[in-house]
Amino acid sequence: MTTPHDTTPQYPFTAVVGMDDLRLALLLNAVSPAVGGVLVRGEKGTAKSTAVRALSALMPAVDVVAGCRFACAPAAPDPGCPDGPHGTGGAEERPTRMVELPVGASEDRLVGALDIERALSEGVKAFEPGLLADAHRGILYVDEVNLLHDHLVDLLLDAAAMGASYVEREGVSVRHAARFLLVGTMNPEEGELRPQLLDRFGLTVEVAASREPGLRVEVVRRRLAYDADPAGFAARWADEEDALRRRIAAARALLPDVALGDAALRQIAATCAAFEVDGMRADIVMARTATALAAWAGRTEVAEEDVRQAALLALPHRRRRNPFDAPGLDEDKLDRTLEEFGADQDPGGDDDPDPEPEGPEDGPGGGGPDGGGCPPQDGGPDGSAAAPELPHQQEREAPKEEPAAPGQDGEAGQPQEPAGQDAPGAGGEAAAVGATEPFRTRRLDVPGLGEGADGRRSRARTAHGRTTGARRPHGALGKLHLAATVQAAAPHQRVRGRSGPGLVVRRDDLREAVREGREGNLVLFVVDASGSMAARKRMSAVKGAVLSLLLDAYQRRDKIGMITFRGTGAELALPPTSSVEAGAARLEQLPTGGRTPLSEGLLRAHEVLRVERMRDASRRPLVVVVTDGRATGGPEPVVRAARAARLLAGAGTASVVVDCEAGPVRLGLAGELARELQGTAITLDELRADSVSALVRTVQGNRKAA
């Protein structure tokens, strides 16, 4: 939303301490909006929002047609503007707007709303502009973009890519221009964006709070000074702000004259190919970014240093094909690629090869001590360089086969311990093992019809999906059901004085469509990490299966949680979250060994779900128990486990038991557990979607059979 009546001065952009990559990415988009926006990833409390809001004060004012709600430029008004056609009316100048999109915004608030009642009864297009219209020729800022509903993100990024917004409802169509600088911020701990959506942001930067005490002191000092006297603080930085504003204007004017030579284009193409990014958008964004970098540095030719910096800003997020891929770039590999395909390696040869390009002393990110410039990133102490790879994000390799350790279960062909006992010596803890490669799993559904957040798992009443009926609107009209509306209005036409063609429609006649789609669920993993599961090859396969289910949960927009049980109790390894990356990290480090307190794991799951229902009542849970079914921990372990399972079943919790039992002689304990849970038991083989011998079993089918 816009805040035109707020007279408090914004925190100055040049007063932001550190975060050079973030400031540079924002400034490059200010110089060349065609770069495609910025996605800012980082931990909370790192001034992401402060920097974005401060940018709007640096943007040049825009001329608009007087009275136009869609900010048409007087020199070239949009011929399809809903407020047009524009004649020779007056023009007015206004500051560049920064429009904020709230996380809870509706589709109508984003794209605008049509008055369907007037459209049907009067035949007029009564259109109320949305936030996309407000942001035209300005900045659209989306805080916590990863928490937006997927369909809103799709609409947002489509408009950013096409430069226009379309509203289509029941044959009534409105189109208006929507060109804006898109800036999104997110905390990766709260969940990732889909790779397809990551690709639609031009640049990405990782931000983190500085670990250097001196910089942290300066951040606090400046913030306290601003809070005490915003106007006075802004006045002290006015000269630096004016200088940076003039530099942006100069770079914009220089941009059309910047030459992108064949050597630079070859380096861009080679870099994108070397890092195996999908599609051609990365090449185009890199070319635009490198050109903007040259203009920002005051040069008329793109240099190798521009290509390198463009790669660091435009490629890291495009290399993530799934949530477990490591972010960032290998800078050594980048340098080798640039050197190999540099100007001196041009097979066609250059008649006049250029020496190292010269530019302003402050380089592409200069600006002097006032902090207005943004020097290239090399990993300074303020933590603004690309985040390093985390151990759980590194590429996984299938572990080599090793014989089972003494006291652990054997593999196929080896005898197993009798039910109710763990292997001798299993009281110790075995080292964590890696997971096998993830695979595509069968979809596991929660039975019934829910009303949770949009997703891709279980059936639900949603705002998007196939139409299954009609109803009177509750509050604002949603998606109009035209046939039902006409049916409701038709019997009253004579009373309303209509005797000829046409239809008189009143608000009481309106019917909205009831739609059925898919919802995201809370998938709670209850993982057996006891000694009976600890054979190295077997635990690796189990972790691979859980990793596959985590990936499936990510693709289906689920929240996830993880409980592990071993020894004498159960631990909530991961509270319910949208970050499957965090789940993968916990899984990677999962130790094994000890007895099997199955009942403790199930009771902990019951308690977690009880608390989660109070927080998010509409999100239905699916419990996935990964175990061989043995229960050996505590007094009467088998009886206690059965009682805990019946407690979950009594609460109506949908459950799936992934049977991890191995060997030629199987006891079927996981199947018995599934019956107590009133759920489904599937083996690791049956979990695979592409398994020829897999049985087509779902939770819903099992419930019907019961």
pLDDT tens-digit series, residues 58-67: 888 889 998 8
Half-sphere exposure (Cβ direction) of 295: Cα atoms closer than 13 Å = 26
Residue 302's pLDDT is: 95
**Cα–Cα distance for residue pair 283/280, rounded to 1 Å:** 5
pLDDT (tens digit per residue) in 158-178:
888 788 998 876 566 788 999
Residue 171's pLDDT is: 61
- Judge whether 312 and 386 are in contact, CB under 8 Å: yes
- Tokens standing for 288? 């635009």
Provide the β-strand partners of residue 527: 564, 626
- Tokens standing for 428? 């110790």
**Cα–Cα distance for residue pair 593/589, rounded to 1 Å:** 13
Catalytic positions, written as ranges: 281
Tokens 């960032």 found at: 328
Of 458, 514, 528, 386, the residue nearest 42 (C-alpha): 386
Residue 323's pLDDT is: 66
Residue 167's pLDDT is: 82
DSSP for 213-273, please give it. Answer: HHHHHHHHHHHHHHHH-HHHHHHHTHHHHHHHHHHHHHHHHHGGG-B--HHHHHHHHHHHH
In this structure, which amino acid lies at residue 150?
A: D
pTM of the model: 0.68
- Judge whether 128 and 91 are in contact, CB under 8 Å: no
Tokens 């007037």 found at: 118
Which domains, and CATH codes, for the chain?
13-208 (3.40.50.300), 254-392 (1.10.8.80), 459-518 (no CATH), 522-705 (3.40.50.410)
**Looking at the chain, how many residues does it have?**
706
Residue 172's pLDDT is: 65
Low-confidence ranges of the chain (pLDDT < 50): 1-5, 346-427, 692-700, 703, 706
Provide the β-strand partners of residue 480: 512
Q: Which residues of 657-673 are buried (b: 16+ CB within 10 A; e: fewer)?
A: bbbbbbbeeebebbbbb
Residue 326's pLDDT is: 61
Residue 579's pLDDT is: 82
- The residues, any chain, with a CB within 8 Å of residue 208's CB and separated by 6 or more, are 42, 43, 46, 383, 384, 387
